[in-house]
Structure 1
Amino acid sequence: MSTYKKAYIAGGCFWGMEDLFRTQNGIKDTEVGYLGGQNENPTYKNHPGHAEGIEITYDANETTFKHILDYFFRIHNPTTIDRQGNDLGSSYRSTIFFQNEEEKEDAKELIKIVNDSNKWDADVVTTLEPFTKFWAAEPEHQDYLVRKPDGYTCHFERFTDSFI
């Protein structure tokens, strides 16, 4: 029986998040795409209401959903509404797309831990949205920073120490 699971998060431009997550312990695959929007078959030029997000495939024997969220809160600014770096709009919102009540509770717990840490200058505004469907982005967006190492990103490790 496989111990692989999937997690779905959004925290700004999907290129930078994918690039950082791909190297983390237990992460087996990443794919960028669109989540939580209003249209079927969204594209980069037409994804109303969708967040630019990533699908993370991980081995539950090597990492946990909580550890994924811990890293998520260290590589983007979860205190800005609809913004990461120069990117503005709901496509760049900070969101955890939970698949079940356990993930939702884990997300609430991590948000409280992050807020209580006072590492950020403001409270977390990351939204919790039920996962519905992940739409893979076009091929030119997959592994973008691997193919274009000098490409745009607003993601980096802001804190090296874990929240948990």
Structure 2
Amino acid sequence: MDNNNLEQVTFGGGCFWCVESCFNMLKGVESAISGYSGGHKDNPTYEEVCTGETSHAEVVQITFDPTIISYAQLMDVFFFLHDPTQLNRQGNDIGTQYRSVIYYKDDAEKVKAEEALKKSEESGRWPGKYVTEITPFEKFWSAEQYHQGYYNENPTQPYCSAVVGPKIQKFKKYFGELGMLNEA
């Protein structure tokens, strides 16, 4: 990858363990880091975010090479990985920290995010009205180290085997068929 050409995007689609694991498998993604954005407290901890009182969302910040994978392709993956019609939840994960949100850095990125949301909503993949927020990016706080690569380190943990693992298998099948995954 050409490090001079790298860009970043930050979004939340439920539990960051699922999202981070999948994005790290994509060609053109240098890194996907679990963290927090959109809140009012500096350096939030996982325990604080889980209370819902900091207003942060669990997010993933993705550093990618746009000559290998486009912003639009990343958005396709984002909308594949979670149900953007569920307000402040994904499955049994409930709370504002699990909201569907895209953080944009400038007006051009905001337009791209709005276009991606509209395209996904019109596809009918997720029936119902999308509740995904499109919000200005302010700050990203990296989650605690034990959250980074959590699924890879803990695949037999009950939540991982029941929720994350099946989502990753579905992701691998679909995006592997499109040739978007790194060779394992």
Bin of the TM-score, shorter chain as denominator length: over 0.9
Counterpart of 1:65 in structure 2 is 71
Corresponding residue number in structure 2 for 1:160 = 174
Cα deviations across residues 66-108 of structure 1 (Å, max 9, x unaligned)?
A: 1111110001111100000110010000000011111111111
| Equivalent in the alignment of 1:17 | 19
Alignment of 1:2-13 (within 5 A): 2-13=4-15
Gapped regions of structure 1 (runs ≥ 5):
none
The residue identity in structure 2 corresponding to 1:36 is: G
Cα drift, residue 124 of structure 1:
1.4
Secondary structure at the aligned position of 2:36 is classed as strand
Whole-angstrom distance in 1 between the partners of 2:45 and 2:115: 33
Which of the two has higher C-alpha Rg? 2
AA aligned opposite 2:147: H
**Alignment-mate amino acid for residue 129 of structure 2:** D
Q: Secondary structure at 1:62's aligned position in 2?
A: coil
Q: What TM-score, normalized to structure 2?
A: 0.83
Q: Which amino acid aligns with 2:114?
A: K
Q: Which protein is richer in helix relative to its size?
A: 2
1:122 equivalent among 98, 119, 128: 128
CA offsets per residue over residues 39-85 of structure 1, 9 Å max, x none?
Answer: 01100011310000011010111011111111100011111000001
Question: 2:47 matched to 1:41?
Answer: no
Matched residues in 2 for 1:94 and 1:70: separation? Answer: 14
**Aligned partner letter, 1:3:** N
What is aligned with 2:147? 141
Question: Is the partner of 1:78 in helix, strand or coil?
Answer: coil
Q: Which runs of 4+ in 1 moved over 4 A?
A: none
How many Å apart are 1:29 and its aligned residue?
0.7
Q: Secondary structure at the match of 1:71?
A: helix
Q: Is the 8 A contact 1:114 1:124 kept in 2?
A: no
How far did 1:3 drift?
0.7
Q: Distance in 1 between matches of 2:174 and 2:128?
A: 19
Query: What letter matches 2:100 in structure 1?
Result: S
How many residues of Structure 1 are paired with residues of Structure 2 in the alignment?
162
C-alpha displacement of 1:130:
0.5
Alpha-carbon shift at residue 22 of structure 1 (Å)? 0.6
- Distance across 2 between alignment mates of 1:148 and 1:135: 23
Counterparts of 2:118 and 2:33 in 1: how far apart (Å)? 28
Q: In the TM superposition, what is the alpha-carbon distance from 1:120 to its structure 2 partner? A: 1.3
Q: Distance in 2 between matches of 1:92 and 1:150?
A: 22
